[in-house]
Amino acid sequence: THTQLQTAIASAQDELLQSATLYDIYRPKEGEAAGIAQGEKSVTLELQLCSPSATLTEEQIDAVVQKVLARLQAQVGARLRA
């Protein structure tokens, strides 16, 4: 659920993560080849990152994204689509 996703994201507890917005949910129609298994859904999240003191580097951004992904995987079984 949306609440479970938000809880998992918040549990990443990173000071650079300002907000997370769920803005798309895709459920494939029966028989449709969408790169996800039947019964699964694909969600699109927007993460807003910000530092008050400096421009973020790619490494900082990647670290936050990986932290959030790890929490989503552990708490709700999420995975990145290939």
Phi-psi region of 44 (alpha: psi -120 to 50; beta: other; left: phi over 0): beta
Average pLDDT over residues 57-62: 95
Q: Torsion angle, CA of 34/40/43/49, rounded to 10 degrees?
A: -120
Q: pLDDT value at position 32? A: 65
CA nearest neighbour of 28 among 20, 40, 11, 12? 40
Burial of 8 (0-12, 13-18, 19+ CB in 10 A): buried
User: What is the arithmetic mean of pLDDT over 61-66?
Assistant: 95
Residue 61 vs residue 13, higher pLDDT = 61
Q: Coil, helix or strand for 46?
A: strand
Q: Is the pLDDT of residue 33 over 80?
A: no
Q: Indicate yes or no: pTM above 0.85.
A: no
pLDDT at 80: 83
